[in-house]
Structure 1
Amino acid sequence: MDINTQKKAPLYEALQKFRKQRVVPFDVPGHKRGRGNHELVELLGEKCVGLDVNSMKPLDNLCHPVSVILEAEQLAADAFGAGHAFFMVGGTTSAVQSMIWSVCKAGDKIILPRNVHKSVINALVLCGAVPAYVNPDVDKKIGIALGMELSQVENAIKENPDAVAILVNNPTYYGIASDLKAIVKLAHAHGMKVLADEAHGTHFYFGEDLPVSAMAAGADIAAVSMHKSGGSLTQSSLLLTNKNVRWEYVAQIINLTQTTSASYLLMSSLDISRRNLALRGKESFGKVMKMAEYARNEINEIGGYYAYGRELNNGSSVFDYDVTKLSVYTRDIGLAGIEVYDLLRDEYDIQIEFGDIGNILAYISIGDRIQDIERLVGALADIKRLYSKDNAKMLSMEYIPPIVSATPRDAFYADKEMLPIEQTAGRICSEFVMCYPPGIPILSPGEMITDEIIEYINYAKAKGCSMQGTEDPYIEKLNVLK
Structure 2
Amino acid sequence: MPSLRQSKAPVYEALLKYKSMRVVPFDVPGHKQGRGNPELTEFLGEKCLSVDVNSMKPLDNLGHPVSVIKEGEELAAEAFGAHHAFFMVNGTTSAVQAMVMSACKLGEKIIMPRNVHRSAINALIISGAIPVYVNPGVNKELGIPLGMSVADVRKAIKENPDAKAILVNNPTYYGICSDLKTITELAHEHSMLVLVDEAHGTHFYFGENMPISAMAAGADMAAVSMHKTGGSLTQSSFLLIGKRLNVGRVRHMINLTQTTSASYLLLSSLDISRRNLALNGQRIFDKALYLANYGRDEVNKLGGYYAFGKELNNGDSVYDFDCTKLSIHTRDIGLAGIEVYDILRDDYGIQIEFGDIGNILAIISVGDRALALERLVSALAEIKRRYQRDKAGMFDHEYINPVVVMGPQQAFYAQQRSLPIQESKGKVSGEFVMAYPPGIPILAPGEKITEDIIDYIAYSKAKGCFLTGTEDMDIENIKVVEE
Short-chain TM bin: over 0.9
Distance in 1 separating the partners of 2:3 and 2:295: 32
Query: Which residue of 1 is the match for residue 37 of structure 2?
Result: 37
3-state secondary structure, aligned to 1:40: helix
Task: Tell me how far 1:457 sits from its aligned partner.
Answer: 0.1
Q: Distance in 1 between matches of 2:79 and 2:339?
A: 40
Q: How does 1:204-243 map to 2 (within 5 A)?
A: 204-243=204-243
Partner residue in 2 for 1:358: 358
Aligned partner of 2:141 in structure 1 is 141
Shift of 1:137: 1.1
* Counterparts of residues 115-130 of structure 1 (less than 5 Å): 115-130=115-130
1:318 maps onto 2:326 in alignment? no
Aligned to 1:271: 271
Paired with 2:271 and 2:243, the residues of 1 have a C-alpha distance of 21
> 1:425 deviation in Å?
0.6
Deviation at 1:183, TM superposition (A): 0.4
Alignment partner, residue 376 of structure 2: 376
- What is the distance in 2 between the residues matched to 1:404 and 1:230? 36
SS at 1:417 equivalent: strand
Name the SS of the counterpart of 1:304 in structure 2.
coil
Query: After the TM superposition, which residues 97-112 of structure 1 pair with which residues of structure 2 at under 5 Å, given as runs?
Result: 97-112=97-112
**Residues 1:468 and 2:468 aligned together:** yes
Match of 1:201 in 2: 201
Query: Cα distance, 1:379 vs. partner?
Result: 0.2
How far is the alpha carbon of 1:393 from its aligned partner?
1.1
Aligned residue number for residue 173 of structure 2: 173
Match of 1:247 in 2: 247
Which residue is 2:333 aligned to? 333
Could you tell me which runs of 5 or more consecutive residues in structure 1 were left unpaired when the two chains were aligned: none
How far is 1:87 from its partner? 0.2
Distance 1:52 1:137 in 2: 46
Aligned partners of 2:445 and 2:77: how far apart in 1? 36
**Residues 296 and 326 in structure 2, CA contact (< 8 A), matched pair in contact too:** yes
Partner of 2:57: 57
Distance 1:171 1:97 in 2: 18
Any idea what SS the aligned residue of 1:360 has?
A: strand
How far residue 3 of structure 1 moved from its aligned partner, in angstroms, is 2.3
Partner amino acid, structure 2, of 1:263: S
- State the one-letter code of the partner of 2:233: L
CA 1:332–1:2: 2 relative to 1, 3 Å: closer
Q: Where does residue 20 of structure 1 map in the other structure?
A: 20
Structure 2 residue runs without a partner (length 5+): none
Describe the SS at the equivalent of 1:438. coil
- Which residue in 1 is equivalent to 2:48? 48
1:288 corresponds in structure 2 to 288
Amino acid at match of 2:259: T
Q: Please tell me whether the aligned partners of residues 333 and 390 of structure 2 are also in contact (alpha carbons under 8 angstroms).
A: yes
Q: Deviations over 1:255-290 (max 9, x none)?
A: 111111100000000000000000000111011011
Q: Separation in 2 of the partners of 1:299 and 1:113?
A: 31
1:409 and 2:409 are equivalent in the alignment: yes
SS of alignment partner, residue 216 of structure 1: coil
Identity of aligned residues (%): 68
For residue 185 of structure 1, report the CA deviation from its aligned partner: 0.4
Deviation of 1:390 (Å): 1.0
Match of 1:190 in 2: 190
Is it true that 1:453 corresponds to 2:453 in the alignment?
yes
1:434 aligns with 2:434: yes
Match of 2:424 in 1: 424
C-alpha distance in 2, partners of 1:55/1:418?
Answer: 44
Give the letter aligned to residue 413 of structure 2. Answer: Y
Residue-by-residue CA offset, 1:214-246 (whole Å, 9 max, x unaligned): 000000000000000000000000000012211
TM-score scaled by structure 1?
Answer: 0.99
SS in 2 for 1:293: helix
Q: TM-score, normalised by structure 2?
A: 0.99
Instruction: Indicate conservation of the 8 Å contact 2:125/2:408, yes or no.
Output: yes
AA in 2 matched with 1:432: F
SS of the residue 1:219 aligns to: coil
Contact 2:284 2:366 (C-alpha < 8 Å) held by counterparts: yes
Give the distance between the partners of 1:138 and 1:376, measured in 2 at CA: 28
User: C-alpha distance in 2, partners of 1:325/1:290?
Assistant: 11
- Asked whether the 8 Å contact 2:2–2:278 carries over to 1, the reply is no
Q: Which amino acid aligns with 1:240?
A: L
What CA deviation, in whole Å up to 9, does each residue of 1:140-184 have, x standing for no partner? 100000000000000000111110000001100000000000001
What amino acid does structure 2 have at the position aligned with 1:388? Q
The CA deviation at 1:2 is 4.4
Report how far residue 105 of structure 1 moved: 0.7
Residues in 2 aligned to 1:475 and 1:29: alpha-carbon distance in whole angstroms: 37
Matched residues, number: 482
Distance 2:24 2:317 in 1: 59
Kept after mapping to 1: 8 A contact 2:2/2:279: no
Inter-partner Cα distance in structure 2 for 1:101 and 1:363: 30
CA deviations 1:368-391 (Å, max 9, x no partner) are: 000000000000000000011111
Q: CA-to-partner distance for each residue in 1:416-463, whole Å, 9 max, x for gaps?
A: 111111111111111000000000000000000011100000000000
Within 2, Cα distance between the matches of 1:215 and 1:307? 29
Distance 2:66 2:3 in 1: 23
